Amino acid sequence: MERSRSMLMPPIEVLLEETGSKFILVSLAAKRARQINEYRSRLGDGLGTLIPPQMESDAAKSLSLAFDEIAAGKIVPEFREEVVEEPTDDDEPE
């Protein structure tokens, strides 16, 4: 049986390999697409704090460009470890 191609390029499988979960993929792509939109809207303002697109792509939409960057490994999720503090004897009420 021939598997149908996804309309999403790069394929969702590749994107999930890079991010690990659908939630992280959606969050990362949306955040990056907003950054690209902001960069494009302020082009010419001379602001050095905006991050330009990290690769050349024929994608017209910022979300498609964000997906391309994620698939290429240019944009990666940042994981923060939670620090769980163990209760000490001093924390117990008397």
Q: Give per-residue pLDDT as tens, 3-49.
A: 544 457 889 999 999 999 999 999 999 999 999 988 888 876 666 56
Q: What percent of the chain has pLDDT over 70?
A: 80
Q: What is the pLDDT of residue 92?
A: 58
- Mean pLDDT estimate for the chain: 80
Least confident of 6-10, 49-53, 77-81: 6-10
Cis peptide before 77 (omega within 30 of 0): no
pLDDT at 63 over 80: yes
- Three-class SS state of 70: helix
Query: Which run of H or of E encompasses 83?
Result: none
26 vs 84, higher pLDDT = 26
